[in-house]
Each structure stands twice: as C-alpha cells, then as structure tokens.
Amino acid sequence: MISRRRILAIGMAFAAEGALAQPKRNVLRANALRKVGFLSGATEEANAGYLQRFQAGMADHHWRAGENYEMVPRYANGATNLLPSLAQELVALQPDVILAPGYLPTQALAATTKTIPIVFLSLIDPVGAGIITSLSKLVET
C-alpha cells in the first residue's frame, strides 16, 4: 500500500513538473537549471525524506536535481514568524516554481508573489483561506 506521504510527494512532483513545463516569464539560457524553491516551517532534517520522495517522483519524469533543476530550500526551523522574511528571500531568487508543504508557508508565499507558481499541499480550503481566488486557477496534472 502506498503511504499518504508518498502520494503527496508524487502529486507535488507532477504539479511541479507541470509548472516547470509552462512558458517562462523570462527566456532561459540554453542548458540553464530551473530553480525549484521550497519553503517550510520545519527543519531541514524533518523535510529530508519528503524532499527525497519529491526528487524520486521528479526523476520518474526525467527531471534530475543538479541536471535539469536545482532545489533552493528555506527552513524556518520551527520559528514560523520567520516565514514571511524567508518567503521574500526565496522570491528574490526568482525560482521557476516554489513548493510549500503546509498552510503557513503557502500563506507567506501568496502574500509575497503573484507571479511565481506555488505548488501547495495540505490545504483543505485554499479559497476560504484566501490563498487563491478560485479553484479554476489550480494547475491540473
């Protein structure tokens, strides 16, 4: 049986792949690595297995860390009050897509950028939470 975490990691990989495949705001240099941002309120250690599963899901679709994309993570290490400044720092790096595993990181990112795609998980009602205005704005995979 596939665990819930594995399903979420695979789903996030599909969504990120879709976002990376979309036309880019700026023309990329030939052979440039795509940047995949990651914002979490937890520690790097707490996210290690999750990111490994994400990278495995991306590899299933021929996206390999260090070859096609680079991960640009930011961790609040439990200090969720740091999420807004970490979101600003991450957005300033202009990643092609940002992954957010929960409500607070997603909220901080949504308040910081309207142009960079945010792939979020674990939100029961993203419209009600004010993260998005409509479910029609979600990228289907």
Q: pLDDT tens digits for 77-128?
A: 999 999 999 999 999 999 999 999 989 999 999 999 999 999 987 767 777 7
Question: 31 pLDDT exceeds 90?
Answer: no
Query: Which H or E element spans position 70?
Result: strand 69-75
70: which strand partners? 35
| DSSP 8-state class, residue 27 | P
> What does the pLDDT read at residue 141?
47
> What does the pLDDT read at residue 121?
77
Q: What is the edge-to-edge ordering of all strands in the sheet holding 69-75?
A: 69-75, 34-40, 97-100, 118-120
> What does the pLDDT read at residue 136?
75
Contacts of 48 (CB under 8 A, 6+ apart): none
99 three-state secondary structure: strand
> What does the pLDDT read at residue 129?
74
> What does the pLDDT read at residue 3?
55
Q: Which amino acid, one-letter code, is at 2? A: I
74: which strand partners? 39
> What does the pLDDT read at residue 19?
57
CB half-sphere exposure, 43, CA atoms < 13 A = 2
The CATH number of 4-137 is which of 3.30.60.50, 3.50.50.60, 3.40.50.2300, 3.40.50.720?
Answer: 3.40.50.2300
Give the mean model confidence (pLDDT) for residues 33-54.
Answer: 94
Measured between alpha carbons, how far is 104 from 80 in angstroms, rounded to an integer?
Answer: 8
Reported confidence tier of residue 26, pLDDT bands at 50, 70, 90: very low
